[in-house]
């Protein structure tokens, strides 16, 4: 083999490797246009849990070849648990007409849906999107909306069962929610049905601000044998430090939907891995930017749920988690 032939083969090998490494997204946009993705959230950009989830979404995009400042630009709007601000941001985002909107949570999607039927929307953290009317079908959503759901409202019965197993003396449960979340009433009805079978009275507790939270939980705690089930809302997430502190102060066993509540001192959580959902949402955004229609992409539900218990908090509440419950626990925080 001649030196010239070897040189030519080496060159072709390098060229082949470079082509394989060329980001798929860059090859998909020969026009060189920078795509715009709007991200609308009810939460606060200062919240460490929110930051971690958004970073997972960004990392997912980057892994698919979408690099901020090169071929994509992300425009973020965080409402910081202010619904009026969220409404204003929804108007602003639709008027700016990005290539795709990533809707984080139920409240943003409730506002976006009537405002546009043409801008593709990928959602995360939505409870039962079919029941709420966001899509016409799970396998073929139709329209301009698709994404990654959390769970169906029937999971509320599991929340009640777990709280009762962990704290058998609980006979009253305050379900802490914000009516701005349209799924709230469905959860409340499911909890009331499950509670009736277990001898637990369920009280819907509306919380739309930090002050309302203190008043509601302090009032509820006046009677004995109480517990809390805390729905995932922007207010509850933003002010979770206060919920956790009030639950500890009044010795109220409380169940939350996500691990980070328990990591910060909450008693128990049962839900899904939000980080994974955000990362997977990036894949749908990628497919839409490359030409697929959101209505053809099936809504996806999680396949794994995680149970997390904080033993230090349980001990402070005078609870001794039964062995059969600990055996089913995915993570024990001590």
What's the Cα-to-Cα distance from 42 to each of 129, 172, 213, rounded to whole Å? 18, 30, 18
Q: Residue 39 pLDDT more than 50?
A: yes
Dihedral angle at the C-alpha atoms of 269, 272, 278, 283, nearest 10 degrees?
170
Q: Residue 27 pLDDT more than 70?
A: no
Mean pLDDT of 6-30: 41
Structure tokens at 255: 């169940």
Q: 81 with 235: CB under 8 angstroms? A: yes
pLDDT single digits (tens) 105-154: 899 999 999 999 999 999 998 888 998 899 999 999 999 999 999 888 88
pLDDT single digits (tens) 146-176: 999 988 888 999 999 999 999 999 999 999 9
Q: What is the mean pLDDT of the chain?
A: 90
Q: How far apart are CA 142 and CA 166, in angstroms?
A: 42
Residue found under tokens 């991200």: 39
Contacts of residue 219, Cβ cutoff 8 Å, sequence gap at least 6: none
Give the containing element (helix H, strand E) for 203.
Answer: strand 201-206
Choice between 314 and 183, residue whose per-residue pLDDT is larger: 314
Three-state DSSP class for residue 142: coil
Structure tokens at 190: 């499911």
Mean pLDDT of 73-78: 97
Q: Residue 221 pLDDT more than 50?
A: yes
What's the Cα-to-Cα distance from 50 to each of 6, 121, 220, rounded to whole Å? 53, 19, 29
Residue 303 is predicted with a pLDDT of 81
By percentage, how much of the chain surpasses pLDDT 90? 75
Q: 60 with 278: CB under 8 angstroms? A: yes
Q: Residue 7 pLDDT more than 50?
A: no
Residue 19 is predicted with a pLDDT of 38
Residue 183 is predicted with a pLDDT of 84
pLDDT single digits (tens) 44-72: 999 998 999 999 999 999 999 999 999 99
pLDDT class of 234 with cuts at 50, 70, 90: confident
Mean pLDDT of 12-20: 39
Number of Cβ within a 10 Å radius of residue 332? 14
Residue found under tokens 């509601």: 216
Classify domain 153-271+305-333 by CATH number. 3.40.50.2300
Strand order from edge to edge, sheet including 201-206? 201-206, 172-177, 226-230, 254-256, 268-271, 306-310, 331-333
Choice between 311 and 16, residue whose per-residue pLDDT is larger: 311
Q: pTM value?
A: 0.83
pLDDT class of 21 with cuts at 50, 70, 90: very low
Q: Residue 2 pLDDT more than 80?
A: no
- Classify each residue of 161-180 as buried b or exposed e, where b means 16 or more C-beta atoms within 10 Å of its C-beta: ebbbebbeebbbbbbbbbeb
The CATH-assigned architecture of domain 30-150+274-296 is 3-Layer(aba) Sandwich (3.40)
CATH 3.40.50.2300, the chain: domain bounds: 30-150+274-296, 153-271+305-333
Residue 31 is predicted with a pLDDT of 60
Choice between 8 and 316, residue whose per-residue pLDDT is larger: 316
Residue 154 is predicted with a pLDDT of 86
């Amino acid at each position: 083999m001649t030196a010239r032939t070897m040189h030519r083969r080496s060159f072709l090998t390098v060229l082949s490797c470079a082509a394989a490494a060329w980001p798929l997204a860059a090859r998909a946009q020969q026009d060189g246009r920078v795509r715009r993705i709007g991200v609308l959230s009810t939460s606060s950009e200062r919240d460490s849990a929110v930051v971690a989830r958004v970073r997972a979404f960004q990392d997912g995009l980057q892994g698919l070849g979408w690099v901020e400042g090169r071929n994509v630009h992300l425009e973020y709007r965080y409402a910081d648990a202010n619904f009026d601000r969220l409404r204003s941001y929804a108007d602003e985002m639709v008027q700016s007409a990005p290539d795709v909107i990533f809707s984080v949570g139920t409240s943003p999607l409730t506002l976006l849906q009537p405002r546009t039927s043409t801008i593709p929307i990928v959602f995360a953290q939505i409870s039962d999107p079919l029941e709420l009317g966001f899509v016409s079908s799970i396998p073929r959503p139709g329209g301009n909306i698709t994404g990654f759901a959390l769970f169906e409202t029937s999971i509320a019965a599991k929340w009640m069962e777990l709280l009762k197993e962990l704290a058998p003396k609980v006979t009253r449960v305050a379900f802490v929610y914000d009516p701005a979340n349209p799924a709230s009433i469905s959860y409340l009805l499911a909890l009331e049905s499950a509670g009736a079978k277990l001898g637990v009275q369920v009280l819907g507790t509306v919380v739309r601000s930090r002050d309302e939270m203190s008043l509601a939980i302090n009032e509820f705690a006046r009677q004995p044998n109480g517990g809390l089930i805390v729905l995932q809302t922007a207010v509850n997430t933003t002010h979770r430090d206060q919920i956790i502190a009030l639950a500890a102060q009044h010795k109220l066993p409380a169940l939350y939907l996500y691990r980070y509540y328990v990591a910060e001192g909450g008693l128990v959580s049962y839900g899904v891995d939000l980080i994974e959902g955000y990362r997977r949402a990036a894949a749908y955004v990628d497919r839409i930017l490359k030409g697929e229609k959101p209505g053809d992409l099936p809504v996806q539900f999680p396949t794994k749920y995680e149970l997390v218990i904080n033993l230090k908090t349980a001990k402070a509440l005078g609870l001794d988690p039964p062995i059969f419950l600990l055996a089913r626990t995915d993570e024990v925080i001590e």
